[in-house]
Amino acid sequence: MTHFSRALLWISLFIILPAVAFAQLKVFGNNHLEYAYNESEDVVKQTDRRHFFENWAEGYLQYKDFRLGLRFEIHNAPQIFAFDQTIRHFDLTQRFIEYDTGNLDVRVGNFYTLFGRGLVLRLFENRQLRYNTMTDGVKLDFLHHRVDIKVLTGQPINRINERQKIFQAGELRIKPIQQFHLGSSAVTTRPDNKERVSWGSVFSDINIPYGSLYAEYAREDNPNAANEGKALYLNANLFLGAFSLVAEYKDYDYFRQFEGVLFNNPPLVAKEHLFTLLNRHQLVQNADDEQGYMVEASYPVIEDGVLLATYNFTETHDGAKLYEEYYSQFDWYTSFDWEFLGGVGRQEDPSARYLNVVGSVEIQAWDYYGIKAIYEHQHTTKRLNDQQFYSHALTLSLSKAPTWSVALLSERTTEQESKKDFWIAGQVDLKIFNNLDLSMVAGTRRKGKICVGGVCVNKPELEGAEVTLTARF
Amino acid sequence: MKKAVLLLVLILHAIAFAQTKAAPDFVLPDIDGANYKLSEHFGKGPILINFWATWCIPCRSEAKKLKKILSDYEDKGLTILAISIDDTKTVGKVKSFVNTNKYPFKILLDTNNEVFKLYQGTNPPLTYLIDNDGNITYSHTGYRKGDEKKLEEEILKLIEKD
């Protein structure tokens, strides 16, 4: 054991433990464990492994307005599609110390942040997608009822934990009245052997009794690039009683801010769906060249029954269609605690057209028992060869609140190019005490894309079992 | 070094299980842009924090039950904070969703999910119950039909204690 390790252990025993004992120091956190045994031919061929183990342990120590945060991660072996397979992760991946009074927050160490709606800067983590643009540096947030200020400097990390060039950023939001905000943000960095690159935006946020309007315009200053980028995002909400209308518009031109890591995550302006097959063919964002809009209307046509209709469209600046979707949905929660959700729609991307019918029914069988069935049907027509095929997904589940649920998940396809045509798995979820959740899946699961927020990741096929254990403390 | 850190984390886990859990304080904007600080509302009755999203089916089912719970216990001091974790893709729809579905809750926006992470969230819905002293007395992930009964029991315990 090194000197530092020994020191850390003594500090734990003689300072942290007594402090905790006197209840001055508060400790909280969580542990997330995942184990998978996967015999899928694709996975074994790519990784030469069948066993995958991950554990994320996060702990926070709080003393009055001070907070210390730590995360220790183990990845053995690293998940495919998420990490460089030559890297082994056994490390303290996140640590920070923070002073937070609510109005003033100063953090040294690892942090995430968001400016405006993400046109200029969004550093975030999505664990399900293994997406992480964590930054190591210093961040200061000042929040006041008339003005919010954020300033930071740091080094973001890429997907194989390499630190990138230092950048600086700041955002100022002025709130002369509660209904009107005006703001501005800027990010700047200097790549190796290149001129300094900067991005800046102005935004406004207006709230009125019958709706709201958000607008953000951003530009790039990049002497190294042939084309300097610009971006515009508009979002309007309009209410007439219970009728709601949302409209969004985007115009992103050479605005994918990549200098080692992706700094920004502008709004996708596409539908986030409630069903698996619908989310499998989402728009993948390309902020270098896309423009488009979305309109969505919703209205409670009956008591506890909401009808929704949405249309979204994205094309390049040359007019090449990238994505188009029509979708309508009805959600009805009956007075006897049954819930019906149904949708029909059409999605289209450059490779194929998809016609979708989806539905779910959930009933409360007895006091604490629930039964749920979800059916999804997707008819695909490929553009290249006009090949047509169907995919169906059926999920049946039984639950007893608050302790357990069991589910059967299946999917079938008639796609000729697919190696398999049928997948089926059983899933059991248990709540052990208040703070411990156990989930077990065994069987087969189709590989495919999962898309969230314009970020898509391919989940590997599963032939085997997965266990997930999450503890909160 | 790695073993020492792992040992430290394990020690913290063990200690934390034995402690009363103080609810981490936070400041988030509400749906109209005003900042809301959690700790300023301690002592006025139980606070129920519910993390949800417009794209989350169980969240919708749970919200219908929370509406009834709020109407039953609001006059006894219960506050429900419905914290939306809709990110930049869907946050633009939150206001319309709340309007059409007639959510009576105090809606806060955690667009970058930093508070969700602080409260150990992985998937929504996630619910916490906080007492007058700012301590967490109950937490629950997910929603199954019937979960609201246990939640109501816990709320009643806090109301009767106060």
Write the pLDDT tens digit of every residue in A376-385: 999 999 998 8
pLDDT at A9: 62
Non-local CB neighbours of A258 within 8 Å, separated by 6+ positions: none
Per DSSP, helices labelled H in A15-172 are 17-21, 41-47
| B-chain residues near A118 (CB < 8 A) | 88
pLDDT tens readout for residues A445-461? 887 655 444 444 556 78
Hey, how many other C-beta atoms are within 10 angstroms of the C-beta on A409?
21
Inter-chain CB proximity B92 and A235 less than 8 Å? yes
The partner residues of A237 in beta bridges, in order of sequence, read A212, A246
Inter-chain CB proximity A370 and B2 less than 8 Å? no
ipTM of the complex as predicted: 0.89
| B-chain residues near A62 (CB < 8 A) | 22, 24
Contact with chain B for residue A169, Cβ under 8 A: no
Inter-chain CB proximity A296 and B139 less than 8 Å? no
- Burial tier of A18 (Cβ tally within 10 Å: 0-12, 13-18, 19+): exposed
pLDDT tens readout for residues B71-95? 999 999 999 999 999 999 999 999 9
Is residue A109 predicted with pLDDT exceeding 70?
A: yes
User: Average pLDDT, stretch A385-406?
Assistant: 91
Nearest to B100 among A72, A299, A431 (CB): A299
Contact with chain B for residue A61, Cβ under 8 A: yes
Contact with chain B for residue A394, Cβ under 8 A: no
C-alpha dihedral over A263, A266, A271, A275, to 10 degrees? 10
Residue of A244, A307, A312, A430 to mutate for B, most B C-beta atoms under 10 A: A244
Q: Amino acid identity of A91? A: D
Residue A234: closest C-alpha in chain B = B92
Tokens of A159: 């997907």
DSSP secondary structure letters along B73-101: HGGGT-EEEEEE---TTTGGGHHHHHHHT
User: Average pLDDT, stretch B28-46?
Assistant: 92
Q: How far apart are CA A136 and CA A164, in angstroms?
A: 10
| B-chain residues near A148 (CB < 8 A) | 35
pLDDT tens readout for residues B105-148? 999 999 999 999 999 888 889 999 999 999 999 988 888 888 99
| B-chain residues near A117 (CB < 8 A) | 88, 91-92
Contact with chain A for residue B25, Cβ under 8 A: yes
Contact with chain B for residue A342, Cβ under 8 A: no
| A-chain residues near B88 (CB < 8 A) | 114, 117-118, 122, 265-268, 453
pLDDT at A458: 59
Inter-chain CB proximity B87 and A453 less than 8 Å? yes
Share of chain A above pLDDT 70, in %: 90
Nearest to B33 among A112, A181, A402 (CB): A181
Is residue B19 predicted with pLDDT exceeding 80?
A: no
User: Average pLDDT, stretch A82-90?
Assistant: 59
pTM for this entry: 0.91
Q: How far apart are CA B22 and CA A458, in angstroms?
A: 38
CA-based nearest distance B160→chain A, Å: 21
Q: How far apart are CA A359 and CA B15, in angstroms?
A: 46
Tokens of A40: 């899928």
Q: How far apart are CA A155 and CA A31, in angstroms?
A: 26
Is residue A422 predicted with pLDDT exceeding 90?
A: yes
CA B69 to chain CA centroid, Å, is 14
Nearest to A1 among B4, B39, B91 (CB): B4
The partner residues of A73 in beta bridges, in order of sequence, read A56, A91
Inter-chain CB proximity B27 and A102 less than 8 Å? yes
Inter-chain CB proximity A70 and B5 less than 8 Å? yes
Nearest to B145 among A248, A364, A470 (CB): A364
Non-local CB neighbours of B5 within 8 Å, separated by 6+ positions: A8, A70, A72, A92
Q: How far apart are CA A283 and CA A271, in angstroms?
A: 9
Q: How far apart are CA A31 and CA B39, in angstroms?
A: 26
pLDDT at B57: 85
Nearest to A268 among B37, B89, B118 (CB): B89
User: What is the H or E stretch that residue B29 is in?
Assistant: strand B27-29
Inter-chain CB proximity B37 and A102 less than 8 Å? yes
Q: How far apart are CA A220 and CA A226, in angstroms?
A: 12
| Residue A384 region by backbone torsions, left for phi larger than 0, else alpha for psi between -120 and 50, else beta | alpha
CA-based nearest distance A157→chain B, Å: 18
User: Average pLDDT, stretch B88-103?
Assistant: 94
Q: How far apart are CA B40 and CA B30, in angstroms?
A: 15
Is residue A206 predicted with pLDDT exceeding 70?
A: yes
Show the beta-strand stretches assigned E in A121-277: 122-123, 125-126, 131-132, 135-143, 147-156, 167-177, 180-189, 197-208, 211-221, 230-240, 243-253
Is residue A394 predicted with pLDDT exceeding 70?
A: yes
| A-chain residues near B12 (CB < 8 A) | 16, 27, 29, 59, 61
pLDDT at B6: 59
Query: Using omega within 30 degrees of 0 as the cis cutoff, is the peptide bond preceding A77 cis?
Result: yes
CA-based nearest distance B45→chain A, Å: 21
Maximum separation of any 2 CA atoms in chain A, in Å: 72
Contact with chain B for residue A73, Cβ under 8 A: no
Is residue B54 predicted with pLDDT exceeding 90?
A: yes
pLDDT tens readout for residues A225-278? 888 899 999 999 999 999 999 999 999 999 988 877 888 999 999 998 888 899
Share of chain A above pLDDT 90, in %: 54
Is residue A54 predicted with pLDDT exceeding 50?
A: yes
Residue B14: closest C-alpha in chain A = A473
Q: Residue for token digits 């990390």?
A: A157
Inter-chain CB proximity B11 and A333 less than 8 Å? no
Is residue B28 predicted with pLDDT exceeding 90?
A: yes
Q: How far apart are CA A423 and CA A410, in angstroms?
A: 5
User: Average pLDDT, stretch A288-295?
Assistant: 96
Contact with chain B for residue A58, Cβ under 8 A: yes
In terms of pLDDT, which residue wins out, A42 or A414? A414
Q: Is the dihedral of CA B56, B60, B62, B63 positive or negative?
A: positive
Is residue B149 predicted with pLDDT exceeding 80?
A: yes
CA-based nearest distance B158→chain A, Å: 17
SS3 state at B64: helix
pLDDT at A163: 84
| B-chain residues near A237 (CB < 8 A) | 92-93, 95-96, 99
Q: Which of A237, A231, A230 is nearest to A267 (CA)?
A: A231
Residue of B8, B40, B136 to mutate for A, most A C-beta atoms under 10 A: B8
pLDDT at A130: 75
